[in-house]
Amino acid sequence: MKHLFLIILAFLLFPAQSRAVCNYHNVSGYIWSGNTGWISLNCRAGGTVDYGLDINFESGSPTVDVTGYAWSYGLGWLNFDPVIPYPALPNYPARFVRNEGELPTTTAGVLKGWAKWVALGDNGWMKLSSDDGAPIAYSVGIGADRLFSGWSWNGGEDVDSDLKAELGDGWVMWDSDGGDLGG
């Protein structure tokens, strides 16, 4: 009886800690914002919530949706599949667009469209590549080596006009040292 009491007491004093299982997401690593710090592209580094980005490269389609969420301790959730209306062209959420002339399952291409910082509301729109003729050209590229390069922009409602970060996160660097498609 004394052993049973001690076992029950141990469970009450030291309850098992629950941790969410991090499901498989084929985009991993981190991207960097000089204003808010590291942005995690999936939950593999720890945490209690399953999150991450996925791109179905095997679909064979020249354009593939990017789905899921990233996380920043500074700004919270970054949604890569936000709903309309979008603040400007293009009128679609984050997509991966393969480079012309590449094989149908290549990872070489660019991210286009929109992601959105949930906590910033209407000022949370992050543009993944500039429009043709924009004052500053930028984009997020993915190489055949499955590594990221380039920049995205979040500057509030004036997406491409003055490129000032007063209302958003500013420039976000997608560096090959921080994020990859390793899973």
Q: Supply the pLDDT for residue 137.
A: 86
Range of 124's domain? 22-180
Exposure string (b/e) for 80-108, b if CB count within 10 Å is 16 or more? bbbeeebbeeeeebbbbbbbeeeeeeebe
Q: Supply the pLDDT for residue 164.
A: 52
Is 1 part of any domain?
A: no
Q: Supply the pLDDT for residue 174.
A: 94
Spatial separation of the C-alpha atoms in residues 25 and 22, rounded to whole Å: 8
- pLDDT under 70: residue ranges of the chain: 1-20, 156-167, 176-183
Q: Supply the pLDDT for residue 63.
A: 94
Is 102 part of any domain?
A: yes
The torsion defined by the Cα of 111, 114, 69 and 168, in degrees rounded to 10, comes to 120
Is 66 part of any domain?
A: yes
Q: Supply the pLDDT for residue 22.
A: 83
What's the domain count of the chain?
1
180 strand-pairing partners: 28, 147
Spatial separation of the C-alpha atoms in residues 126 and 152, rounded to whole Å: 7
